[in-house]
Homo-oligomer: A and B are copies of this chain.
Amino acid sequence: MFVYFITMTEEKKDTEQTIKEAAKKIFLVNGLKGARMQAIADEAGINRAMLHYYFRTKDKLFEVIFSDAMTEMNQRMGAIITSDLPILKKIEHFVHGYSESAISNPEFDLFIINEFRQNPTYFDEMMKTSNAGTVIKGFASEIEKAIDKKEIVGNPNQIFLSIIALCIFPFAAKTMVRTMLGHSEKQYTKLLEERKDFLMQFIIKAITP
């Protein structure tokens, strides 16, 4: 009897984890509205009813997946930004770190941009409660300080916006850019790999006095 209970618990954990991984995959590609419970079930190798048994509703499942993804993201970015380094080094770390994580998670950027757009108030709330807001504001204020110290030149918000644009856009608009350039998947991956170094040159030239 006891053994049976343990087994059930472990199986439950496994199934829950399997569902989460499947759901993450499907939600990242299709968004909340675009994702189909059937697709998640197929991906997890179970049937739809199981999804509801474990997570009650589609919205609740999404909520879990999404806050997990955000937490993971914040931790990664936070570690880079809050490190104790001169501004150019910090930007370099940010650019490299961001590119690395985006390469292994290429759907994330466009997903976030779209979900933000569709539910601004939800994210507004989240920015206040999570540490994402702190991390970003920290980075922005570091840029501001560096401008005051004449280490770099320009408007802080514009510089911040430009850095994230240069990092994020190639992933968010991947399909569009690939089509525009007429690149294969492989060619474009190479472009993104090489971009890590290109970007540092580009950004440093643009913002040093």
Q: Indicate whether A161 reaches chain B with its CB closer than 8 angstroms.
A: yes
* Given A110-B114, A158-B202, A191-B157, A168 contacting B179 (CB threshold 8 A): no
Which residues of chain B come closer than 8 Å to A157, judged between CB atoms?
181, 191
Q: Are A120 and B206 in contact (CB under 8 A)?
A: no
**Closest B-chain residue to A123, C-beta based?**
B179
A-side interface residues, number (CB < 8 Å): 50
Q: Chain A at the B interface: mostly helix, strand, loop or mixed?
A: helix
Q: Are A176 and B117 in contact (CB under 8 A)?
A: yes
Distance (Å) between the CB of A177 and the closest chain B CB?
6
Q: Indicate whether A136 reaches chain B with its CB closer than 8 angstroms.
A: yes
Q: Are A116 and B202 in contact (CB under 8 A)?
A: no
Q: Indicate whether A33 reaches chain B with its CB closer than 8 angstroms.
A: yes
Docked Cα-Cα span, A114 to B140, in Å, equals 29
Docked Cα-Cα span, A7 to B34, in Å, equals 43
Distance (Å) between the CB of A196 and the closest chain B CB?
11
Q: Are B181 and A140 in contact (CB under 8 A)?
A: yes
* Given A33-B34, A140-B181, A166 contacting B162 (CB threshold 8 A): yes
Distance (Å) between the CB of A115 and the closest chain B CB?
9
Q: Indicate whether A6 reaches chain B with its CB closer than 8 angstroms.
A: no
Q: Are A120 and B158 in contact (CB under 8 A)?
A: no
Which residues of chain B come closer than 8 Å to A117, judged between CB atoms?
110, 174-176
Chain A, range 157-205, C-beta contacts under 8 Å to B: 157-158, 160-162, 164-166, 168-170, 172-177, 179-182, 191, 194-195, 198-199, 201-203, 205
What would 6 A/B residue contacts be, using CB atoms closer than 8 Å? A110-B114, A113-B176, A155-B194, A158-B202, A162-B166, A202-B206
